[in-house]
Structure 1
Amino acid sequence: MHLHTKLYKERNRIKNNDLKYKNYLQILKEELVPAMGCTETIAIAYAAAKAKEALGCTPEKVIVEVSGNIIKNVKSVIVPNTGHLKGIAAATAAGIIAGNPDRKLEVISEVTKEDKQRIKEYLSTYPIEVKLADTPFIFDIQMNAFYKDSFVKVRIVNYHTNIILIEKNGKILYHKETTVSKENGLSSKESLNVEDIIDFANSVKIQDIEDIISRQIEYNSRIAEEGLRNNYGANIGSVLISTYGCDIKVRAKAKSAAGSDARMNGCELPVIIVSGSGNQGMTASLPVIEYANELKVSKEKLYRALVISNLVTIHQKTGIGRLSAYCGAVCAGAGSGAGITYLYDGGYREICHTIVNALSIISGMICDGAKASCAAKIAAAVDAGILGYYMFKEGQQFKGGDGIVKKGIEATISNVGKLAKKGMKQTDKEIIEIMME
Structure 2
Amino acid sequence: MDKFLYDNYIKILKGELIPAMGCTEPIAIALTAAKAREVLGKMPEQIVIQCSGNIIKNVKGVIVPNSGGQKGVEVAAILGAVAGNADLDLQVISQVSEEDILKTKILYEKGLCRCELKEGEENLFICAELTAGNETASVEVRSKHNHIAKIKKNNEIIFEQPDIMSQEFGDKSKLNIKDILEFANTVNLDDVRELISKQIEYNSAISEEGLSNNWGCRVGQTLLKYNSKDVRIRAKAAAAAGSDARMNGCALPVVINSGSGNQGITCTMPVVVYAKEMKSSEDTLYRALILTNLLAIHQKRYIGNLSAYCGAVSAGTAAACGIAYLNGCGYDTIGKTIINTLGNVSGIICDGAKASCAAKISSAVEAGITGYEMAKNNLVFPYGEGLVENDYEKTIENIGRMGRYGMKSTDVEILNIMIGN
Q: TM-score, normalised by structure 2?
A: 0.98
- Given that 1:100 and 1:108 are in contact with CA atoms closer than 8 Å, whether structure 2 keeps it comes out as yes
Residue 262 (structure 2) pairs with residue 279 (structure 1): yes
161-170 vs 254-263, greater mean Cα deviation: 161-170
User: What is the SS of the residue equivalent to 1:345?
Assistant: coil
Is the aligned partner of 1:145 residue 2:130?
yes
2:418 alignment partner AA: M
* Among candidates 55, 59, 65, match of residue 74 of structure 1: 59
Instruction: Give distance in 2, aligned partners of 1:136 and 1:147.
Output: 27
- The aligned residue for residue 208 of structure 1 is 191
- The percentage of counterpart residues that share the same residue type is 49
Q: Is the aligned partner of 1:104 residue 2:89?
A: yes
The residue type equivalent to 1:416 in the other structure is I
Q: 2:210 is matched with which residue?
A: 227
Partner of 1:9 in structure 2? none
1:26 maps to what in 2? 11
Corresponding position: 1:336 with 2:352:
no
- For 1:332, the aligned partner's letter is A
1:76 maps to amino acid = G
What is the distance in 1 between the residues matched to 2:369 and 2:193? 26
Given that residues 61 and 147 in structure 1 are in contact (C-alpha distance below 8 angstroms), is that contact kept between their aligned partners in structure 2? yes
Are residues 214 and 196 of structure 1, via their aligned partners in 2, closer, same or farther at CA, if it must alter by over 3 Å?
Answer: same
What's the counterpart of residue 107 of structure 2? Answer: 122
Deviation string, structure 1 residues 245-272 (Cα, Å, up to 9, x no partner): 4310000000000000100001111111
Of structures 1 and 2, the larger Rg is shown by 1
Which one is further off, 118-127 or 410-419?
Answer: 118-127
Confirm or deny: 8 A CA contact 1:178 1:184 kept in the other structure.
no
Partner of 2:367: 384
| Partner amino acid, structure 2, of 1:205 | N
Distance 1:88 1:312, change over 3 A: same
Q: Distance in 2 between matches of 1:162 and 1:393?
A: 41
Structure 1 residue 265 corresponds to structure 2 residue 248: yes
| Structural mapping, 1:29-428, within 5 Å | 29-178=14-163, 182=165, 185-428=168-411
Any idea what SS the aligned residue of 2:354 has?
A: coil
Instruction: Summarize the Cα distance change of 1:45–1:183 in structure 2 as closer, same or farther, 3 Å threshold.
Output: farther
DSSP 3-state at the match of 1:151: strand
| Contact 2:333 2:378 survives alignment (8 Å) | no
State the alpha-carbon separation in 2 of the partners of residues 89 and 126 from structure 1: 9
1:126 shift after superposition: 4.9
Q: With structure 1 as the length reference, what TM-score do the two structures score?
A: 0.94
Query: Matches of 1:402 and 1:364 in 2, distance apart?
Result: 15
Quick one: distance in 2 between partners of 1:178 and 1:238? 41
Q: Is the 8 A contact 1:271 1:281 kept in 2?
A: yes
- In the other structure, the counterpart of 1:3 is none
**Secondary structure of the structure 1 residue equivalent to 2:130:** strand
Cα displacement string for residues 404-424 of structure 1 (whole angstroms, at most 9, x for unaligned residues): 001111100000111101111
**Do the aligned residues in 2 keep the contact of 1:60 with 1:126 (CA within 8 Å)?**
no
Instruction: Report deviation, 1:288.
Output: 0.2
CA distance in 2, matches of 1:114, 1:436: 31
Contact 2:50 2:127 in 1 (8 A): yes
Give 5+ residue unaligned stretches, structure 2. Answer: none
1: CA distance, partners of 2:87 / 2:203:
23
Measure how far apart 1:158 and its partner are. 1.4
Partner-residue secondary structure (3-state), 2:172: coil
Hey, what's the Cα distance between the residues in 1 that align with 2:397 and 2:140? 31
2:138 alignment partner, SS class? strand
State whether residues 100 and 107 of structure 1, in contact with CA within 8 Å, keep that contact through their aligned partners in structure 2: yes
**Contact preservation (8 Å) 2:53, 2:119:** no
Please say which of residues 304-313 and 150-159 is displaced more in the overlay: 150-159
| Structure 1 residue 285 displacement after superposition | 0.6
**Please, what is the CA RMSD of the aligned residues?**
1.2
- After superposition, what is the alpha-carbon deviation per residue over 1:366-405, rounded to whole angstroms, capped at 9, x for unaligned? 0000000000000000011101110112231113202100
Tell me the equivalent position of 1:5: none
Instruction: Please state how far the C-alpha of 1:184 moved relative to its aligned partner.
Output: 7.5
Partner of 1:130, secondary structure, is: strand
